[in-house]
Structure 1
């Protein structure tokens, strides 16, 4: 094939009209705006302006190729089947235009060669696997000319030149602002500090840029690059109305934040991402405040082993392999250049948490200009634990369906497991409710992926079985061990390993630790090994075996050991507690949120009589000192043991128990394969004493402590007053399950505006289409109800319903999305919840809505230019108190 002939042919105008079909015509939404439309918005086969189907896209690619090769002599043409394969690859590559996260200005800056290269990198590698060298060359040549025409079309748009100049001006402004901020943070840095910080950044990136893939045998890379692993989840604010925020932007506009999240929810991964991104200087515009800062990653379970460190001891406390210049850390913090990432308040003993809080308080008082992000499990510390130091509080939200799908696909890509198994697992998670409930965070998703791969599609149905299977996979590693052992090597089977690991986990729980000194672990094993005569090795050899081979135990520093994740520690400790009949310890620690999972797993491990004993220990108003029931011969009946009661009591004379205990007992029922029906009903009866919740705080705690099964206990809406109805709805909307949607549907025509506000506000927590169909489409608009849209998907759903008169926008959306997705003939009130006034210099796009007369905005950081607001729109500035009266 003569490529020079092809090159000449590509220069003709014959291809121009075909390439133009890839793009939509310029319309009203393409004006001069702060954030120009992404490339996907210009494509005729993507987005809402779709006029070209994907089938037609394939036909267009084939026609492009035909026009190129048709004039060639037969000797220079590819075989017919190879031309068809090349056209298919070209269609896939053109389709990848919609996956590029850039606008037209950025695309033109790349140029045709680099744009074509970016597209080729986006498509799956196997797209070109079976193409010949000539076919790949042909594909690349046609792609380059298509990119040339696409970029040419962008430059011809009426707004392109103006926006290019504006973008250049804004970039210069951002560079000046960033430089000023950097200069403020670095009043004077000596050459020795500069050199050290470069080495420190390099080491920090190396240390924190990899994660472990649970369940991969050692024949594959067990380390997962952070760039590939990181999933942008969402957190929501806890003070006032809960506003969803991407996790990586928690520190955008905040100097100090306390982030609560369940085990395995991604807290530590987020801190790693922030540390690595800051060290690299690779940060989005919203995180400009992090540029030039020095990250310190401080896991509390590691640094709290003795005395909490001073700044000069930060690096040595975490075992960092560098010697810093004398006084360097104090100079960084004094200049306000630090990013302090403090992980795991819940992983220090109860009696040390107040010490940790005082340590934070003293550091902040001494070095007030730095940024702080602290993480903890949800109930480990009380609300407003760091309020005195003005910390904003946020909670990590469960993974959405999109998050789960992204995680599973990335896991299989990282594991080189192929696309088909990943899609099969996705189908199973989506169609099996019990399995879907397990995939709530990255840890559990990772275990499901590993088990699905290991077991060729078989998956466990409950949590205990999931961990049984995970430990079997991690501890046995049958495929790994074939051929790996030499004669005479130490080999310890799964059950003995579990027995040994249980002892270590039990010691940690009994001593209120999530990490133990290596010497203590050595002593625990030395005490156990004499009873395990089949293991012919000393404690040191066995400990090293568990660290090297189990995949469950690790050594974070030379002097300590811990479990790769707390959930394994809790599971194994629970098994040991049941086997040791250590039930009084469970009862005594029922108020300690640190060990709730241990108690739940103990119920799962126990036999029926052991489960009953644990449950009665949680709710001690129940006793088995029962009279004989003539109606059920031989069967004892539960009753309330009044001799142990103390006031205050409820209307039935029963002692009031803390909500945590009752809901913990209720949640334990979900992990018990078999429980006496009378005991079960008694626990359910106690749970009803806390229902309905009476206020916002009670509603949130009910959801937080009780979990998904709380929905089945909630009453209403009959016989509830307005406050009770609102509290019940708040509880259900924080549980985000199909059962919650079914319950909430009973309130969708409730006369209370406050109830309907909560229903409208909480849309973002559920699947968009299901919630729209069951809830949003039925909400009456009377009373001034605002319908809240947190994404373009929500706007599309509202448009499909015919629009709404009052719409509240969460997040920062592109104005063209708002202008194109909101029906102009309905909108009368628009509330922009986020900082639009600081993002957009003009509001001319509002002229699209002829009936709009009220625009609600947050308090702007600078005076508004009223000339950009079309008449007769009235501006309402929503102060904090006013915002709640307008609806959330």
Structure 2
């Protein structure tokens, strides 16, 4: 593209940015700054001349937006105004996206048929931690519930948490700190109710499996049979050579034999895409802004398609308000879902229907026992329920030394989760090996339990982390570094919990 002009929305941003600078339209300083952006090695003066392609008439055309100007001038003027040119440029619609002599239903069905094999092979399986072989999603999947209010976003004070709080009571809920009282909505019902959905959840809460289930249901014509399911791991998208969602989707469909890009564009222009964007939190920090910007632009252009994004709760700093996304949260498993998962799990791994059902019944009976309440509190997410089933499967009993079970669960959250997902934490946190991570948590727990502090302010725990870091044998001597590092470590711990 050799010339560019601003969109109507972009012109509003341009006028606002120019007013904020306070310079008159005819002020030659605009041209001087733009020239410096184009050729920083030269010295430019108000008297001119200016860099190639820059002039006062060009500047006026840029402000009016009625006719295009050279691309280098357009970008330079945007930089002077501290605007992202990609967000304000006018993008003409694709020319003649519809393949000749084909209606939309024919195109959709053709693409669905070509993509069927790939969807079944790539997304019908799920990999469980500490299980060597992948298992069929349909054999293990349990229908999930959605909370329409994000639990961790609800305001509250420590005094509110302490009200009616009794850690000495027999039914003390150590993990949930009280039951979630809001209404649960079946996951597919939430998807049917919202064309743009942001699904948040804890690590291991089943977000990816939920998206895979939707893709499989769509592919099998059991859900949105008139749409094309397009599953995109955002970490993989971020690694692509060109951060362009349309190009990425076109390439994905081309690998299934959809040769004409015009078919892809036509299908999306008609709102026939079910776009499943998985793992926003797994995108490297260096790429996150660019990925989010690309998603926003794509959603604005192909707004009539259906979009679902998944992300961990603690990493959901991008909430896409301007793209009308509704944020919901995957709920922890209730008793019914735990029972359904356990029955599926033991049948799959016993490889015998009756034997699996019998073992599942034993598991559920023991899980109900008062002495196993703490294990029951642990097994409320798929990842930890899988661990609990795995331990029970070995001896048809829970271990007498429960600390081993909790230690394994802790190791999953501290180490195995990141390894499986390919997540790279901040360098400060990576320097804490598994042993030190456990020692840090024990250090904080010992002090706070000794004080009777079941709830505490962020700055309190940050100071405890800073004290621990300062006492490491290889620690630096600068206290300021400890304070900064403690914030990074606390954020990493928070991300693993939510």
Normalised by the length of structure 2, the TM-score is 0.57
> Could you list the per-position Cα deviations for residues 468-515 of structure 1 after superposition, in whole angstroms to 9, with x for gaps in the alignment?
9989xxxxxxxxxxxxxxxxxxxxxxxxxxxxxx9xx8xxxxxxxxxx
Indicate yes or no: 2:372 matched with 1:430: no
From the superposition, tell whether residues 227 and 407 of structure 1 become closer, same or farther in structure 2 (CA, over 3 Å).
same
> How far is 1:334 from its partner?
0.7
Q: Deviations over 1:786-809 (max 9, x none)?
A: xxxxxxxxxxxxxxxxxxxxxxxx
Change (3 A) 1:439 1:623: closer
Q: Which residue of 2 aligns with 1:276?
A: 216
Residue 564 of structure 1: CA displacement?
Answer: 3.5
Q: Secondary structure at the match of 1:308?
A: coil
In structure 1, distance between residues paired with 2:378 and 2:393: 17
Is 2:416 the partner of 1:586? no
Q: Distance in 2 between matches of 1:324 and 1:438?
A: 49
Structure 1's 358 and 468: CA in aligned 2 closer, same or farther, altered over 3 A?
closer
Deviation at 1:607, TM superposition (A): 10
Q: Which residue of 2 aligns with 1:211?
A: 126
Counterparts in 2 of 1:115-514, with a 5 A limit?
188-189=103-104, 194-212=109-127, 214-216=129-131, 222-238=133-149, 243-283=183-223, 290-306=224-240, 307-314=242-249, 316=251, 320=255, 322=257, 324-382=259-317, 385-415=319-349, 416=351, 418-431=356-369, 432-459=372-399, 460-461=402-403, 465-467=407-409
Measured in 2, the distance between the counterparts of 1:622 and 1:193 equals 57
1:619 and 2:463 correspond? yes
Are residues 356 and 320 of structure 1, via their aligned partners in 2, closer, same or farther at CA, if it must alter by over 3 Å? same
Distance in 2 of aligned mates of 1:705 and 1:349: 14
Cα distance change, pair 435–644 in 1 and its aligned pair in 2 (3 A) = same
Q: 1:317 to 1:456 in 2, by over 3 A?
A: same
2-side partners of 1:396 and 1:433: how far apart? 23
| Partner Cα distance (1:463, 1:429) in 2 | 14
Distance between the aligned counterparts of 1:437 and 1:314, measured in 2? 41
How far does residue 409 in structure 1 lie from its aligned partner after superposition?
0.8
Contact 1:312 1:330 in 2 (8 A): no
* Contact 2:198–2:308 under 8 Å retained in 1: yes
TM-aligned CA deviation for residue 616 of structure 1: 9.4
Query: Do the aligned partners of residues 608 and 205 (structure 1) sit closer, same or farther apart at CA in structure 2, a change above 3 Å counting?
Result: closer
Cα 1:310–1:436 change in 2 (3 A) is same
Partner of 1:578: none
Query: Matches of residues 53-92 of structure 1 in structure 2 within 5 Å?
Result: none
3-state SS of paired residue (1:340): strand
Q: Is the Cα contact below 8 Å between 2:444 and 2:461 reproduced in 1?
A: no
Kindly state the Cα deviation for residue 375 of structure 1 after the two structures are TM-superposed: 0.4
The TM-score, its normalising length taken from structure 1, stands at 0.33
Deviation, structure 1 residue 365: 1.6
Contact (CA 8 Å) 1:428, 1:435: kept in 2 or not? Answer: no
Ranges in structure 2 where 5+ consecutive residues have no aligned partner: 1-100, 155-180, 448-458, 472-477
Greater relative contact order: 1 or 2 (C-alpha under 8 angstroms, separation 6 or more)?
2
Matched-pair contact (CA < 8 Å) for 2:201–2:207? yes
Residue-by-residue CA offset, 1:73-112 (whole Å, 9 max, x unaligned): xxxxxxxxxxxxxxxxxxxxxxxxxxxxxxxxxxxxxxxx
Query: 1:362 is paired with a residue of what secondary structure?
Result: helix
Could you list the per-position Cα deviations for residues 40-76 of structure 1 after superposition, in whole angstroms to 9, with x for gaps in the alignment? xxxxxxxxxxxxxxxxxxxxxxxxxxxxxxxxxxxxx
Q: Are the equivalent residues in 2 in contact too, given 1:616–1:622 (CA < 8 A)? A: no
**In structure 2, what is the Cα distance between the partners aligned to 1:607 and 1:227?**
37
- Given the alignment, which residue of 432, 437, 455 partners 1:603? 437
Residues 602, 343 of structure 1: CA spacing in aligned structure 2 closer, same or farther, 3 A cutoff? farther
User: 2 CA distance for matches of 1:414 and 1:238?
Assistant: 34
**Aligned with 1:235: secondary structure?**
strand
Contact kept, 8 Å, 1:434 with 1:462, in 2: the verdict is no
* Superposition map of 1:569-580 within 5 A: none
Q: Is the 8 A contact 2:271 2:305 kept in 1?
A: yes
Q: Residue 620 of structure 1: CA displacement?
A: 6.6
Larger CA Rg, structure 1 vs 2: 1
Q: CA deviation at 1:602?
A: 4.4
Per the alignment, do residues 200 and 622 of structure 1 end up closer, same or farther by CA in structure 2, a change over 3 Å counting? closer
CA distance in 2, matches of 1:260, 1:469: 23
- What is the root-mean-square deviation in Å for CA atoms of aligned residues? 4.7
Count of matched residue pairs: 340
Please give the per-residue CA displacement for 1:684-735, whole angstroms capped at 9, x wherever unaligned. Answer: xxxxxxxxxxxxxxxxxxxx99989xxxxxxxxxxxxxxxxxxxxxxxxxxx
2:429–2:489 Cα contact (<8 Å) kept: no
Residue ranges of structure 1 left out of the alignment (5+ in a row): 1-185, 284-289, 472-501, 506-551, 554-561, 574-581, 589-597, 627-635, 637-642, 646-656, 669-703, 709-888
Q: Deviation of residue 209 (structure 1)? A: 1.9
Q: CA deviation at 1:279?
A: 1.4
Distance in 2, Cα, partners of 1:265 & 1:337 = 29
Q: 1:450 to 1:336 in 2, by over 3 A?
A: same
Evaluate the alpha carbon distance shift between residue 305 and residue 612 of structure 1 in structure 2; reply closer, same or farther with a 3 A threshold. Answer: farther
Measured in 1, the distance between the counterparts of 2:430 and 2:131 equals 38
Q: CA deviation at 1:249?
A: 1.9
Does the CA contact (< 8 Å) of 2:234 and 2:283 recur in 1?
yes
Q: How does 1:660-809 map to 2 (within 5 A)?
A: 664=490
Residue 135 of structure 2: SS of its match in structure 1? strand
**Relative to 1, partners in 2 of residues 1:362 and 1:216: Cα closer, same or farther, differing over 3 Å?**
closer
Quote the Cα distance in structure 2 between the aligned partners of 1:468 and 1:563.
14
1:349–1:200 Cα change, 3 Å: same
C-alpha displacement of 1:424: 2.5
**In structure 2, do the counterparts of structure 1 residues 305 and 465 end up closer, same or farther at CA, with 3 Å as the change threshold?**
same
| Cα distance, 1:243 vs structure 2 | 4.4
Q: In structure 2, do the counterparts of structure 1 residues 623 and 204 end up closer, same or farther at CA, with 3 Å as the change threshold?
A: closer
CA displacement at 1:322 relative to structure 2: 4.2
